[in-house]
Chains A and B, each alone.
Chain A
Amino acid sequence: MSETFGWREGLDEDWRRARPFYGIVALATLVGLFIPFTGVKPIDALFFTSVLNGVAAPFLLVVIMLAAANKKVMGRQTIGPVLRVLGWTVTVAMFAALLGLALTSFRS
């Protein structure tokens, strides 16, 4: 977030100089604070969080894989073939799992 909007950030920054960064951390905590009050059971919320992460992850993986192989970002230190194959395999696998979830949710 801080990087997106060009704020000072980092856990090692002085409290006053990095105020927007801590503001966002505080906001996330505050918003999170209200979820338990909605009556959703904690274990259901935890499980739901994981499914949500499973939906978001493959999309982000695509971007990460492209960036890690991009010479403009990494210079000469782009990732090698092993990391590349493993990374793309898991990206595809996670999309496949999502597809499976979507398909079976229509059936039941």
Chain B
Amino acid sequence: MTRAQQVARERQPIKKAALLLGPGFITGAADDDPSGIGTYSVAGASLGLATLWTALLTFPFMAAVQNICARLGQVAGCGLAGILKEHYPRWVLYPAVALVVVANIVNVGADLGAIADAAGIIVGAPIPWLVVPIALALLAMQVFARYRLIERVFKYLTIALLAYVIDAVIVNPPVGETIRSTIVPTISTDHGYIATIVAILGTTISPYLFFWQTSQEVEEERAAGRKTRKQRRGASRFELRIATIDVTVGMWISNLVMYFIILSTALTLHASPRGSGPCRCIGLRRVRNVRMAGGSR
């Protein structure tokens, strides 16, 4: 049974709403991966509230891009690389795949390093000792667990991201300045500032998310029993509408978390005097040393 059929059949509103959230919701959560969180933290810590507007402005665009990717997966019935292979020349396919492979490998490496670093703070072991077991554990999960299980684990892990919202409320933001920074974009030609904007855009509207979203929709159909490409081609209006809701809600939550990460790091890490006080937060000392700090504000 497809998720669309399950949604249509479910009577209880809360269960119906929970069923609505699927691949789009997970993709939204996946967007706040370590490199996303790290980048938003660097932006907040080094530039204060200056980049807050990006969380609001990128939302419609990010939602549009992920909706387009979801639609590609649902209608074409295969992932992005498959679509490119079938309909476009090799000189389009190979560079596109190469771009994603390189970006992904760096992404995986950086994420693993960060996970090990964070775990190291808790268990007190050096980073290299933790990288291997963490990588193996994640790999084992991908290899041995079924799609539905992975989906459910990610769905509940997303709740942890809401801690950033609570964090931002606790630090008691200055209302007027926060609203102004959210609505009015800060424009600067400072190199560090532009690099931060590129990084924010890149981690929000991210290549792996394009591929991930498209493939997730295919996985979804496959898990519902549509094993062949032919069965998966095309999508009903209802399926498309459900995917739109799912993806848009997912991206909204993703950008909500992004907003509050920038806000809370701007108010805690940026506000604190540089070079003094103990490291309260993961990577705080490093953020101060980041070359991109620029100090334009």
Contacts and interface: CB of A to CB of B under 8 A. Distances in A.
Q: Does chain A bind chain B?
A: yes
Interface of A: 1-4, 9-12, 15, 22, 25-26, 28-37, 40-57, 59-61, 63-65, 67-68, 70, 72-75, 77, 79, 82-83, 86-87, 89-90, 93-94, 97-98, 100-101, 104-105, 107-108
B-side interface mostly: helix
A69 B86 CA distance: 15
Interface in B50-70: 58, 60-62, 64-65, 67-69
Contacts of B76: 73-74
A12 B203 contact: no
Contacts, number: 277
B36 A90 contact: no
Given A56-B207, A63-B84, A26 B139 contact: yes
Interface stretch (B126-134, B156-164, B165-173): B126-134
Contacts of B82: 3
Q: How large is the interface on B (under 10, 10 to 19, 20 to 34, 35 or more residues)?
A: 35 or more
Interface of B: 34-39, 41-42, 58, 60-62, 64-65, 67-69, 71-72, 75-76, 78-88, 92-97, 99-114, 116-117, 127-128, 131-132, 135, 138-139, 142-147, 150, 189-191, 194-195, 197-203, 205-208, 210, 218-219, 222-223, 233-235, 240, 283, 286-287, 290, 292
Contacts of B191: 101, 104-105, 107-108
A53 B71 CA distance: 22
Given A46-B38, A65-B68, A77-B234, A54 B112 contact: no
Contacts of B208: 53
A29 B189 CA distance: 37
Contacts of A73: 72, 75-76, 83, 86-87
9 contacts: A1-B101, A32-B112, A33-B112, A36-B128, A46-B38, A47-B42, A59-B95, A87-B61, A107-B191
Nearest first, the 9 closest Cβ-Cβ pairs linking A and B are: A54-B202, A35-B109, A46-B38, A32-B109, A32-B108, A86-B64, A53-B202, A36-B113, A50-B199
Contact of A59 (B37, B99, B143): B99
Contacts of B34: 46
